[in-house]
Amino acid sequence: MKKSSKKKKIAIACAGAAVILAGLAVVLHGCGAEEEASEATVQEAQTMTIEKTISSEGEITSTLEENVEPHTSYYLKKINVEEGDAVSEGDTILTYTNGYTMEAPYDCVIESWYLPDTGDQLTSDHYVTIAGTDVLQIELSVGEDEVSLLEKGKSAQVTVEATGSTYTGEVSYVSEQGEYTSGMSTFSAKVVFDNDGKLKLGMTGTAEITLDKAENVIGVPASAVHITNGTSCVTVVNGDGTDLTDTEEVEVETGVSNDSYIEIKSGLAEGDLVLVPASDDSEEDSGSFGRPDGDGSGGMQMPGGSEGGGMQPPGQQ
């Protein structure tokens, strides 16, 4: 009898705990729903230009590095340069005992050399390593979800903060084999550009490449689009947008997107009001990648004249 009574007390305690937990879950769920509804915003679908870009910082290096061999039947009289020197095409690098010289074949930097002592004969083992400075390059890392959009010849912009200069270049190389780390693969790519004489090898630059671009398209904040049963949808707010409970789910066809905005190919018209969840950060750092056409400011112009992505429902501002 004592054992049976003990089991009954345990069962009652468990049932009571279950009721408490269930009630707590309902309360928490209700609080969460209320908070989400209160922080959600409403934004208009607008005509804009959307760009998907990648950007990477890296070291500026030469596209041409080679070992220049001296005349093998001559004797070395003098090395006319120091390691790290920048020399112009035709400048003297070495002087031989017979008065002849070895000259720079193009504008370059003297990186290193392997040469005999002064007065000794030069052989085929000797060389001077040089790196050209006319055409430079910068290497960047591309994620596996973006590399398919990258191809040789794509235009790129290289910015060098040290000189305050920006250069137009192009993609010269895209690796066909990625490197797997931390659950994903990255691929290397190179951008080449011409030196205007201001840059030095080893400086730091930032290369930016436009992977995809859609102009004069309907766009909304990227976080306004969600997947329901494998279909892209948005929540459209009916009426004037003041009643956030008066909504409907609308299927949409999407196109070009970036971290801020996404193209809507079908399903919405300009001026439609969509619900943007509280987690939306599209108003931050949108730059020129999601700008309403005709407005170069970069931020979305909202109903009522407000700038940015923090618009409140019309009539509640």
- Global confidence as pTM: 0.68
Q: Are residues 206 and 228 in the same domain?
A: no
Q: Are residues 198 and 140 in the same domain?
A: yes
With beta carbons less than 8 A apart as the criterion, state whether 66 and 128 touch.
no
For range 66-88, the mean pLDDT = 97
The two tokens of residue 156 are 């790129």
H helices, E strands: number in the chain: 1, 22
Q: Which residues pair with 181 in a beta bridge?
A: 184
With beta carbons less than 8 A apart as the criterion, state whether 115 and 79 touch.
yes
What is the number of structural domains in the chain? 4
Neighbours of 171 (CB within 10 A): 20
Q: Are residues 219 and 297 in the same domain?
A: yes
Q: Are residues 142 and 191 in the same domain?
A: yes
Task: Assign 26 a pLDDT band (cuts: 50, 70, 90).
Answer: very low
Q: Are residues 147 and 188 in the same domain?
A: yes
Last residue of a domain, one of 213, 246, 276: 213
Which residue range(s) make up the domain with 179? 54-61+136-213
Q: What is the DSSP secondary structure assignment for residue 239, as one 8-state letter?
A: T
CATH number of the domain encompassing residue 220: 2.40.420.20
For range 157-180, the mean pLDDT = 96
**What percentage of the chain carries pLDDT values higher than 70?**
76
pLDDT digits (tens, 9 = 90+) for 115-145: 999 999 999 999 999 999 999 999 998 989 8
Cα separation of 154 and 32, whole Å? Answer: 46
Q: Is the pLDDT of residue 291 over 60?
A: no
Cα separation of 246 and 239, whole Å? Answer: 8
Whether 76 is in a domain gets the answer yes
The two tokens of residue 31 are 């609080």
The two tokens of residue 270 are 């300009």
Query: How far from 221 is each of 284, 290, 311, CA to CA, in Å?
Result: 11, 9, 12
Query: How far from 110 is each of 58, 62, 85, 94, 134, CA to CA, in Å?
Result: 22, 12, 5, 12, 14
Q: Are residues 195 and 235 in the same domain?
A: no
Q: Are residues 231 and 249 in the same domain?
A: yes
Dihedral sign, Cα of residue 263, residue 211, residue 284, residue 231: positive
Whether 317 is in a domain gets the answer no
pLDDT at site 278: 82
> Which position has the token pair 């931050």?
284
Q: Is the pLDDT of residue 71 over 90?
A: yes
CATH number of the domain encompassing residue 99: 2.40.50.100
pLDDT at site 312: 38
Task: Assign 182 a pLDDT band (cuts: 50, 70, 90).
Answer: confident
Q: Are residues 219 and 275 in the same domain?
A: yes
CA-closest candidate to residue 70, choices 50, 87, 91, 93: 93
